[in-house]
Structure formats: structure tokens, C-alpha cells
Amino acid sequence: MHGRTVLVTGASGFVGRVVCDALEQRGWRVRATGYRNTGGAMQSVAIGSGTDWSDIINGCDAVVHLAGRAHVLREVAPDPLAAFREVNTEGTRTLASAAAVAGVQRLVFLSSVAVHKPTAQVLDENQTLGASTPYGLSKLEAEAALRVIAGQTGLEVAVLRAPLVYGPGVGARFLQLLRWCRAGVPMPFGAVRNQRSFIGVRNLADAVCVALEHPGAANRSYLVADREVISTPELMRQLARSMGSPARLLPVHASLLRLMARSAGKELELERLIGSLVVSTRLIRDELGWFPPVSLHDGLAETAAWYVA
């Protein structure tokens, strides 16, 4: 597939920039779309059910679909589910239909672990699908739409389900965590005994490349994550240490934290910090031979160095 043209949606974003670099290093000609038009090198596209992809996708051999409506820290949409569906579900359906018409061979879709039901077990692809958030439901419905289009048209679809992504340029919740660690803010997580999977942005970009190029990835769905797991207190200690700041972690019991979060209506936000979510990557390792090239320790150090620079 080297030397062919790939359309990357969401190329102006945190993940998109790294994915585009990785694809170009592997010999792909990248056609980029995003929300920022940079001197004509990137086309600005609003993703939704009415997007006209015909001119943009013409001549492309493959598509990497990264663009989407992600978790919103302060939701302002009157109907969040409808807002997520318009971008993540209908936007994906429209893009895949256009790709099939244009003769695209393969589409790689960045989904999320949020399409799975929450579980105390190690998460793998055999476990039940069933999203518990509007975001997760919109991604789950997008995956279903892709399977239908693949079955009807012959378009090859590869789905990657990622946990929280971190790395230089990260935003949202992980950026807030960096701010807290850098400032040495006392945080009540010293008694938390959880385990969580994350994925570094360079590891995710590498997985995208493998899913795009490997023959065995056609019409398959894979969970992706760093090899290592980490607790929330240790994550904060590593970040603070890398930024030369003290980690001030107060030993508040998790049950008390959950009680306070429930009274404030912040249960979901807290659970993303103190709950456990361990992802198995055995399937993509066994079928595609994929291993994350960057360790969690090195990825966190790179992220911290970016933040303090």
C-alpha cells in the first residue's frame, strides 16, 4: 500500500497531527481535513450527516477517520446524544458511504473503549458491547453503521477502540491533570488502589498505521493500549516528578470520594480518575503482531516535558 493516498479526517487535532506524520514516514501521501485551514494544505470540514465528501475523497486509496465529537468537559448542547450522533454516527456513516462509492479500499475508524459495558474484569473484544454514555453510544452506533456498509459494498473497515490518549499536545482531562501536578495542588487520591490502561499518542498512531496496512485487519475490531497499566496515584507521582514538582496526595478513602462525588453529581468524572479500566491487547498482538513501541514511562515523560517547555 505504500505510496498511495490516504485521507485523514481530524488531521489538525492532537491525535491527527501525529498520525499524519507517522503515515508520511511510511510512504503514504496524506490528504488532510480538519477544522483549521493551514495555508491550503488542509481542508476545513465540518463532520455531519450532510457533509459532501465527493471532491475530497476522489482519488484516495484509504481513509483514516479520526474526527469526531469527543467528551465535553462542560456540555452546552440541549440534547447531548443528538449532538454526538450527528457527528460521530451520521458523520461516519456519510463518510464511509462516500468512501465506498469512490472505490476506497480500507477505512480505519478510531472508536473508543466506551463502546463496551463497564467491567471490573480485564476488558477484551469478547466482552459485551453496551455504551453507558452518549459519546460511547454514538461510537457504538458508528461501528454498527460501518459493518453494514462494509457488508453491502466490500469496503474494508478496521476499528480501533482506544482508552484515554495522552502525549504532547493533549487537552481536556489529561491537560487538567498536568496542571494540577505541575502546581503541586493537594489531591485526595493517595489511598486509591486502582489500575488503568492508557495509550500514548505515538503508540496509537503506530496502531493506526498497522490497521491500515495489515491484510488481517480487514473488517476486524481491536482494543489498543500501552503495555503497562498504572494507578492514578502513581500516574500523578510520575507526572509531578517529571515536571520537578511535589506530588501532594492526601489519603482519602475511595468510598468517601464517591460519596462526595455523588452529592455533587460528579460520579462519572470521579470514576474516570479512581475507577479501574484495564485493557487487553492480546487480539491485535496475536492477529497483527502489534506491540506499542513507546513505554508508558517514556510517554509520560515526553508529555510532562512538553507541558513545562
Catalytic residues: 135
Dihedral (Cα; 99, 100, 102, 108), 10-degree rounding:
40
Q: Three cell numbers at 60?
A: 484516495
110: DSSP letter: E
Question: HSE-up of 37 (CA within 13 Å, CB side)?
Answer: 6
In angstroms, rounded to a whole number, what is the distance separating the alpha carbons of residues 16 and 264? 35
In angstroms, rounded to a whole number, what is the distance separating the alpha carbons of residues 226 and 204? 9
Task: Give residue for cell 488502589.
Answer: 193
Number of Cβ within 10 Å of residue 94's Cβ equals 18
Q: 25-29, long-range: CB within 8 Å, 24+ apart, which pairs?
A: 26/2, 26/209, 26/213, 27/2, 27/3, 28/1, 28/2, 28/3, 28/4, 28/62, 29/3, 29/4, 29/5
